[in-house]
Structure 1
């Protein structure tokens, strides 16, 4: 047993020693930063076992007759809360393949939840208010973030070696509103700049 624990510890230390921080910069065709792009990295060596957890709250608020945030990144198996802070009732739903669900009408200061079990996208709407639109990106990797206004994210401790870098955005032109690139991650800090056409019509429910 002690030998097994020692081997596991050595493996973990070796993996940590050969991991680097990756900065990803997302830009549109004119070179401007893109907000709300979901950046994911899938190392060729695989994803560590165990549940994936993120530092941000898994929460999609309804306030002022809109969803907040516009894009939310959620791990597979993550349970999202849907608090209603409006004075009117909402009925949240998604018809997206693999992530279909519906939450019946509920009122102010009430909260409902839903667990997302399939990687992909859930385009959200409200049966009462057609103008409400948001997206939940369900991911199966711990190396995932959403770009802020700067268009830059830093993914910490990505295993060195070959990996697939993916960018998703509701207005990214292309199949599934996604683009991918094979990259090589090194133990030293690295940077990738991704440019794309973000003028497509937003993905709909």
Structure 2
């Protein structure tokens, strides 16, 4: 039988304490017509800046399938590397002229393109120089606490340490601003906060090319 020393028990206690204190927030997002909003990005920022953990960039993926960016909206933490694999049978030319990140990936197919590092928080609008209907968005977050709404408008952010948080929300239909700031929420004793949030969004037109009759060269 393995006997844990004092340090071992301390580590377990701290781990269990952290889990016990973790809370979550659930938000239902609807538009001005009371319809669920998909692809809204919710962000929580600690009110006390000393409680902001160190950001941990990740390797992320925005795919290109059926001449569309997948997913349409992708939230990532600042500093992340984003790969743009091309699974179509045509070449794409991905670009962005956004203040948060300006870049170009010349014509390519497959997985040959080098990743793009997104260091600066903000909104990166994606386009394709060959297929001008292709449109996508990357929200580069300055906080590790974020999530995106599902088709039914629901968002869940769990594993939140105790403390007060400022809420912020963004959707492509809100334009290229940083988003709308909401009220503060408090997380304590592993509580679950359930909120409703109505936002004003403009219609976003997305043209699907899945049934396109154009040949493989385009």
Same topology, TM > 0.5: yes
Q: Deviations over 1:74-113 (max 9, x none)?
A: 1111111111111221110111102111111112454442
Structure 2 equivalent of residue 42 of structure 1? 45
Does the CA contact (< 8 Å) of 1:39 and 1:145 recur in 2? yes
Kindly tell me the number of residue pairs found equivalent between the two proteins: 197
Does the CA contact (< 8 Å) of 1:160 and 1:184 recur in 2? no
Does the CA contact (< 8 Å) of 2:91 and 2:108 recur in 1? yes
Does the CA contact (< 8 Å) of 1:169 and 1:177 recur in 2? no
Counterpart Cα distance in 2 of 1:194 and 1:96? 28
RMSD: 2.8
Matched, 1:198 2:201: yes
Q: Deviations over 1:133-188 (max 9, x none)?
A: 00011112221111111111111122333211111101026x71611113122331
Q: CA deviation at 1:22?
A: 0.7
Q: What is the 5 A alignment of 1:134-153?
A: 134-153=136-155
- The structure with the larger Rg is 2
Gap change, CA 1:183 and 1:89, over 3 Å in 2? same
Say which SS state the counterpart of residue 177 (structure 2) adopts.
Answer: helix
User: Could you tell me which of 180, 192, 197 is aligned with 1:189?
Assistant: 192
Structure 2: tracts of 5 or more residues without a match: 1-7, 206-218
Scaled by the length of structure 2, the TM-score of the pair is 0.78
Matched, 1:65 2:67: yes
Structure 2 equivalent of residue 123 of structure 1? 125
Q: What is the 5 A alignment of 1:1-205?
A: 16-45=19-48, 46-52=51-57, 58-108=60-110, 110-172=112-174, 176=177, 178-186=179-187, 187=189, 188-199=191-202
Scaled by the length of structure 1, the TM-score of the pair is 0.83
Counterpart Cα distance in 2 of 1:83 and 1:121? 20
Counterpart Cα distance in 1 of 2:159 and 2:200? 29
Say which SS state the counterpart of residue 67 (structure 1) adopts.
Answer: strand
Structure 1: tracts of 5 or more residues without a match: none
Gap change, CA 1:15 and 1:126, over 3 Å in 2? same
Gap change, CA 1:157 and 1:109, over 3 Å in 2? closer
Counterpart Cα distance in 1 of 2:134 and 2:89? 15
